[in-house]
Amino acid sequence: MRSIIDSPKLPTTTRFCLRTLALLGLALAMSACSLFHHKRDNIDTMPVDVLYKKAHVSLENADYSAAIKDYQRLIARFPAGDYNEQAQLELTYAQYKDAQWEDAYSTINRFIKADSSNKHIDYAYYLRGLINFDRTTGFMDKVSRDKQAQSRRDQGYNLQSFDDFAELSRRFPNSAYAADARQRMIYLRNVLAQYEVNVAEFYLFNRVYVGAADRAQYVIEHYQQAPQTGDALAILTRSYLALKEDKLADQTRQVLALNYPDHPYLKDPTWPHEVAKWRKMVPFMRHH
């Protein structure tokens, strides 16, 4: 079949131009296809050190999406060796910075389980602690800068984070990450203590005095150095009074006065005060 370009009805000059354009288009298409395949083949055959450098540059430039893809390609192509180990750690960090909490947690868990004696295992525990540490705080908490927001959330991740930092501090007390881990543990301890105090207050306000006493006692026993211990002693005193345990109440109040002489309960026996319901409905209003 004769093409339109070869039709005798078209002038010679027109047919020549059409052939030229067609050949030019075909050449461009072949060139683009060749370039695409060359680029793909280049990435798939890239040496491990070059591929690692490419991923690392993306990480340093905060291009986490590109870094994640390159690290994953490196790990798949080179399943062993120093570059693989470093790529797993940096992949975890890229996923962590990109707020891909579950992926980051899975990646670092695989690293820890694969070789618990790895020379970078202290950093792995530190990184796992960071992942859980940061994913408890929501966006609105950061916007409102409410320091007690975390204590009103589920504490599962905070507990895991505390355990990771504790493991790091116990096993590697001289690690470069141990000092920061210990500071984060203090913060988490106070958050966990405040959470228990919040629950104790809830029980107290709803006249579930046994529950309030149990929660307050838990704070006293498990978070002795937390500043919330004073609040727990005050709640425990009020709970004992409500339960007609006057002797226990008097003993607890004496402990409070000895250790926290400026606590507001000592001047106001109705402390803590229940927050008005309308205040609980106001966004960013501190409830405790």
pLDDT number for residue 274: 86
Given pLDDT bands bounded at 50, 70 and 90, which one contains residue 44?
confident
**Mean pLDDT value of segment 33-43:** 52
Backbone φ, ψ for residue 162 (5° rounding): -60, -45
C-alpha dist (Å) from residue 32 to 26, 28, 46? 10, 6, 21
Q: Is the pLDDT of residue 287 over 90?
A: no
Distance of CA 233 to the CA centre of its chain: 33
Q: How many residues does the chain have?
A: 288
Given pLDDT bands bounded at 50, 70 and 90, which one contains residue 275?
confident
Q: What number of other Cβ atoms are within 10 A of residue 215's Cβ?
A: 24
**Mean pLDDT value of segment 200-206:** 97
pLDDT number for residue 42: 75
Given pLDDT bands bounded at 50, 70 and 90, which one contains residue 281?
very low
Q: Is the pLDDT of residue 258 over 50?
A: yes
How does pLDDT run across 65-81, given as a tens digit for each residue? 999 999 999 999 999 99
How does pLDDT run across 117-170, given as a tens digit for each residue? 899 999 999 999 999 999 876 544 544 444 455 555 679 999 999 999 999 999
Q: Would you say 204 and 240 are in contact if contact means Cβ atoms under 8 Å apart?
A: no
| Distance from C-alpha of 129 to C-alpha of 168, rounded to nearest angstrom | 9
Q: Among all chains, which residue has been given the structure tokens 């409830």?
A: 287
